[in-house]
Structure 1
Amino acid sequence: MKAPLIATGLLAFSALAARAELPVLTVLTYDSFTSEWGPGPQVEKAFEEACACDLRFVAAGDGAALLARVQLEGASSEADIVLGLDTNLTAKAAATGLFAPHGQPAATALPVAYDDPLFLPYDWGWFAFVYDKTKMPKPPASFEELAASGAKVVIQDPRSSTPGLGLLMWVKAAYGERAAEIWKGLADNIVTVTPGWSEAYGMFLAGEADMVLSYTTSPAYHRIAEQDDSKDWAPFSEGHYLQVEVTGILAATDQPELAKQFLAFTQSPAFQAVIPETNWMYPASATKLPDGFEDRRPEKSLLLTADEAEAARGPALEEWQSALAR
């Protein structure tokens, strides 16, 4: 009886040894991407079938925390790729000098023209406030209506979260010099500010807030995955701010060709088809959307350029902090 057991053990050891010899590609990304319900597991399996490599995801909080970690680690970072920044952070990321050109053609299915030599989009969506239709029959239809209402909302910290930063840019793009006034009006509505999206959405689902900063596509998860049509997003008359999520190669990578192969893979059907029902965002290349994924789109889109967002970030953060400190 011992011989089969020994043979099985040798086979397992051989498999582990063979895997240990594979080149390793490390992707730094946000928590929800690597979760069991996120894109990470499917992406890892599909890419490893094509690359003869070991793809490893390292989670580092929410999107905006990724750049902070890369800046802290600098050229000594073990990551080869950063996945999860967005266009509100790309100018700041480029200024670090830590990213290398990706060499890929522009993404083909964005609602705006976007072609950056350092950062390649892999998905996109509109920010929105999500609510429960059974508890809020008539949601606010603008930031001003929200501020005047008694609705309690939970949002994300713009210093650690890309949705949180996107909200700052949304208010700034919609109201310009009136942004500080809008934040003063909204301060009483904000129940709490969480480090990332997952914590905020969890609080909303637990009934701790009437609305949560999320995406127009968030209700699709409930419709498709849970057969629950009770969640919706509130259309705002100011328009809705776009988020374009991107990935970039770190210049210090010791796997430059493998990194470029992965970025090319992010535009392929094998990657893009996973996005709608795992990351619950729009794919960046032409991909058929699942039934029930969307029922309508915002009538107006808002988006600051990367340079405009970088210039606006500091003043917008000061306005936000001042309003919430009162």
Structure 2
Amino acid sequence: YKAFLAAAVATLALGVVAYGGGDEKPTSVVLVTHDSFVVSDDVKAAFEQESGLKLRILQSGDAGELLSKALLTAGNPQGDVLFGVDNNLLSRALEGDLFEAYESPALEGIDERYVLDPEHRVTPIDHGEVCLNYDKAWFTEREIAPPRSLEDLVEPRYEDLLVVENPAISTPGLAFLLATVAHFGEDRWAGYWRGLRANGVLVVDGWEEAYNAHFSGAAGSRGDRPIVVSYASSPPAEVIFRTPKPTEAPTAVIASSCFRQIELAGVLRGARNEDGARKLIDFMLSKRFQEDVPLSMFVFPVDPSAQLPPEFAEFAVVPEAPLELAPEKIGANRDRWVKEWTSIVLR
């Protein structure tokens, strides 16, 4: 606890330095976000030129850490806009009264399924599905059919092949747990996890360890597990980052396992530059920003008119009917589900 508090205080101090003081008209807008946030230099420069404001980015750990630190300073925030809360954490953010309502005019072109708060305290910016990925070559070489469903993973032929992330500390791990709740229902998800445990599922702390250390399909990996919880955008990433670039994605997604994550942004309550915050949210819904997110953060734009990079268009899977749970249901049950999962899988 002391270490967390010290980190929070240090981050707050950095935010004060970046934010500046005094009553003069703000010349910058501060975006508080997670460590995975990336924006291209030319896109950042375009916002600064259009708005006349300097964009300062304050990164605060992963999505869970970001939200925890923001709740500590609710009403007296470190910045103007918070980006990175997703549908799995939304209830905590809204209950903590973090945001001022703002309905961007740019929402007119956004599919309503991504708009999770009718009061517009948060605005959808991108979505990215958490899905089971598998190593195509591993299964081809052994003449084993790859799994096609969640149910397949408890079958004997897939024993000791799956690696997942701990949902208590990992965002994709939590999303996969929620996927099983959404698919099997309240009365069957726990039994499914007992089956996975009996079939040798490996649980690790986070995505980096699961994918790069244990998954056999990752570029350069010595892992021996050919099935992993990752993202719908992982196959195009494998194409983009391999040398030489393959003509076919070496990994594939089990579409029926995908759980939708929607990332949101909001004007922080107490923001010093509320006008600049609104301009930033408008810009994040612009085609310029929306077309930047696939190759910057390996997620998908919420603007259906945004053009996808060729690698995404060819190799990414966007499931037509991903698994979903209402944010209110997640908020009411998340802690209980994680606690029960822990007693089943890690006991």
Indicate the TM-score class for this superposition, using the shorter chain for normalisation.
0.7 to 0.9
SS at match of 1:74: coil
Task: Mark the CA change 1:224 to 1:28 in structure 2 (over 3 Å): closer, same or farther.
Answer: same
Report the Cα offset of residue 98 of structure 1: 1.7
What corresponds to 2:325 in structure 1? 304
Task: Mark the CA change 1:299 to 1:121 in structure 2 (over 3 Å): closer, same or farther.
Answer: closer
CA contact (8 A) 1:32 1:198 kept: no
Map 1:68-107 onto structure 2 (within 5 A).
68-105=68-105, 106=107
What corresponds to 2:32 in structure 1? 28
Map 1:64-143 onto structure 2 (within 5 A).
64-105=64-105, 106=107, 108-110=109-111, 112=113, 114=115, 116=117, 117-137=120-140, 138-143=145-150
Identity of aligned residues (%): 29
Task: Mark the CA change 1:59 to 1:178 in structure 2 (over 3 Å): closer, same or farther.
Answer: same
Task: Mark the CA change 1:299 to 1:27 in structure 2 (over 3 Å): closer, same or farther.
Answer: closer
SS at match of 2:184: helix
Q: Unaligned regions of 5+ residues in structure 1, if any?
A: 1-18
Report the Cα offset of residue 172 of structure 1: 0.7
Task: Mark the CA change 1:246 to 1:255 in structure 2 (over 3 Å): closer, same or farther.
Answer: same
SS at match of 2:138: coil
Task: Mark the CA change 1:153 to 1:82 in structure 2 (over 3 Å): closer, same or farther.
Answer: farther
Report the Cα offset of residue 301 of structure 1: 2.0
Report the Cα offset of residue 146 of structure 1: 1.6
What corresponds to 1:16 in structure 2? none
SS at match of 1:124: strand
Q: C-alpha deviations, 1:126-183, integer Å up to 9, x for none?
A: 2211222112333222223223322444433434443222112111100112111112
Q: C-alpha deviations, 1:297-316, integer Å up to 9, x for none?
A: 43532211211221231232
Task: Mark the CA change 1:263 to 1:72 in structure 2 (over 3 Å): closer, same or farther.
Answer: same
Task: Mark the CA change 1:242 to 1:119 in structure 2 (over 3 Å): closer, same or farther.
Answer: same
CA contact (8 A) 2:29 2:276 kept: yes
Report the Cα offset of residue 113 of structure 1: 5.3
What corresponds to 1:169 in structure 2? 178
Structure 1 position 193 matched with structure 2 position 194: no
Map 1:240-319 onto structure 2 (within 5 A).
240-285=258-303, 286-294=305-313, 295=315, 296-298=317-319, 300-319=321-340
CA contact (8 A) 1:169 1:241 kept: yes
AA at the equivalent of 1:147: V
CA contact (8 A) 2:32 2:78 kept: no
Q: Unaligned regions of 5+ residues in structure 2, if any?
A: 1-19
Task: Mark the CA change 1:100 to 1:234 in structure 2 (over 3 Å): closer, same or farther.
Answer: same
Structure 2 Cα separation of the partners of residues 77 and 193 of structure 1: 33
Report the Cα offset of residue 272 of structure 1: 0.6
Report the Cα offset of residue 99 of structure 1: 1.2
Q: C-alpha deviations, 1:93-126, integer Å up to 9, x for none?
A: 1010121112214363448252521111111132
Q: C-alpha deviations, 1:79-105, integer Å up to 9, x for none?
A: 322211111221221010121112214
Structure 1 position 231 matched with structure 2 position 250: yes
AA at the equivalent of 1:170: A
Task: Mark the CA change 1:89 to 1:250 in structure 2 (over 3 Å): closer, same or farther.
Answer: same
CA contact (8 A) 2:88 2:331 kept: yes
CA contact (8 A) 2:164 2:229 kept: yes
CA contact (8 A) 1:63 1:84 kept: yes
CA contact (8 A) 2:132 2:258 kept: no
SS at match of 1:85: strand
**Paired positions, count:** 302
Question: What is the RMSD of the two structures over their aligned residues, measured on CA atoms?
Answer: 2.7
Task: Mark the CA change 1:247 to 1:113 in structure 2 (over 3 Å): closer, same or farther.
Answer: closer
Out of 205, 227, 234, the position equivalent to 1:211 is 227
SS at match of 1:259: helix
Report the Cα offset of residue 236 of structure 1: 5.1
Report the Cα offset of residue 246 of structure 1: 0.8
Task: Mark the CA change 1:319 to 1:115 in structure 2 (over 3 Å): closer, same or farther.
Answer: closer
Structure 1 Cα separation of the partners of residues 196 and 41 of structure 2: 38
Runs of 4+ in 1 over 6 A off after TM superposition: 19-22
CA contact (8 A) 1:173 1:303 kept: yes
Return the TM-score normalized by structure 1. Answer: 0.82
CA contact (8 A) 1:31 1:61 kept: yes
276-285 or 59-68, which deviates more: 59-68
Structure 2 Cα separation of the partners of residues 49 and 155 of structure 1: 43
Structure 1 Cα separation of the partners of residues 136 and 289 of structure 2: 33
